[in-house]
Amino acid sequence: MTTTFHPLLKGAIELHVHSAPSLFPRKQTDWELIEDVKKAQMAGVVLKAHEAQTVDRATLIRGKEPDLHVYGGLVCNHFTGGLSPATVDTAIRLGAKVIWMPTFSSEEHQRYFGKKKTNFFNSEKKLSHSYGLEIWDDNKRILSEVHEILELIAEADIVLATGHLAPAEVSVLVDAAIEHKVEKILIQHTDLGIARIPHKLEFELIKKGCILEKCYLACSDDFNDIKKEEMAQSIKALDANSCVMVTDYGQSHNIPPIEALSQFIDDMLRGGLSDKEITKMIVDNPKQLLGL
C-alpha cells in the first residue's frame, strides 16, 4: 500500500525525528525515513538521537542524496559526554546544526518518568545514571560548562534546542543564550508533558525571539497532553511566525514520522489554520533556523 502525503509537505523540513540505528526500538532506519522524505518531496530532515551524535549519519546520507538537506546534531546526555564543551565543539566542527540540551539524562526527564509505571522508550535493559543533569548548580547559577557551550553555539550560529529541561531552567538558559548572542533558540515540544512550558512563558519566550516546537507526539495516545483542536488554537494565539510543527515520531509502535507529519497538517487545517500558516511552520521557519 502506497502512502499519500499531504501536498503542503513539498519543500518542508522536519526538525525532530528519530530513526535507527538506536538503542531504542525505531519504526524506520535512516534510509527508510529518507525514502519517505523524497516521496513527500520534502527539502530535508534533522536526525535526532538521545544516545549518540547524528552528524556522521547525516553526512553519509547527504553524500548519497546531495539535493536533500539532511542534518544532525548532538544531545548533551550522559551517553554523549553530558554537558561537555569539548564534545559540543567536536560535533560543531563535524557539521552539527543543532545542539540539544539534556533530554533522557535531564533531571526533569528522570523525575517525570520516575512517576510512570510504563517505560515509554521500551528499551530491553533499563538505562539509568546516578544523577539527572541540570544546567545550574545548587544555588541556581548556570554552570561554567554551559556558558562555554552557549559561546560555541553562538560562534557557529547554529540552533540551541532546550531538550527536556524544566521550564525554570529553560527560562534561565534562554536569558544566558541571549547574553552570549545565540541567534537561534528552539524551545522543544512546549505542550509535551515531559517538560511542558506554561502558556504565559511561551509568550515571554516568543518576545525574546525564540521559536516554539509544536509537537504532534503531545497529541498522541502516548501522552494525550493536548487535544488537536487545542493545539491549533494554541498556534493561532502564539502566531505561526514563532512556531515550527514537528512530530518527534520514530517510535516503533507509532506510524512513520513523515506520515505523522502529513496527518499533523490535516489536523491543523481542520483546526482552522491556513495553508500559509502551515507553510510558515514546516518550510520557512525550519529553513531560517538551519540557515538555508
Stated pTM of the model: 0.94
What is the distance between the terminal CA atoms of the chain, rounded to a whole angstrom? 34
Crossing angle of helices 199-207 and 228-238, in 10° steps, is: 30
Q: Is residue 127 part of a domain?
A: yes
Written as one string, the DSSP assignment of 111-164 is HHHHT-SS-TT--SS----SS-B-SB-TTSPBPHHHHHHHHHHHHHT-EEE-TT
Rounded CA-CA distance 262/9 in Å is: 7
Is 167:187 a contact under the CB 8 Å cutoff? no
- Structure confidence by residue, pLDDT tens digits, 213-246: 999 999 999 999 999 999 999 999 999 999 999 9
Q: Is residue 2 part of a domain?
A: no
In the chain, how many domains are there?
A: 1
**Residue 105 predicted with pLDDT over 60:** yes
- Structure confidence by residue, pLDDT tens digits, 138-182: 999 999 999 999 999 999 999 999 999 999 999 999 999 999 999
Domain limits for position 219: 7-290
CA dihedral 15, 20, 21, 22 (to 10 degrees): 80
Question: What is the amino acid identity at position 292?
Answer: L
Q: Is residue 138 part of a domain?
A: yes
The pLDDT value given to residue 128 = 57
- Structure confidence by residue, pLDDT tens digits, 8-63: 999 999 999 999 999 999 999 999 999 999 999 999 999 999 999 999 999 999 99
Residue 53's φ and ψ, nearest 5 degrees, are -70, 150
Q: 239: domain CATH number?
A: 3.20.20.140
Is 206:244 a contact under the CB 8 Å cutoff? no
**Residue 1 predicted with pLDDT over 70:** no
Cα distances (Å, whole numbers) of residue 248 to 49, 192, 203, 264, 274: 11, 10, 22, 12, 22
Rounded CA-CA distance 105/124 in Å is: 18
Q: What is the mean pLDDT of the chain?
A: 94
Q: Is residue 1 part of a domain?
A: no
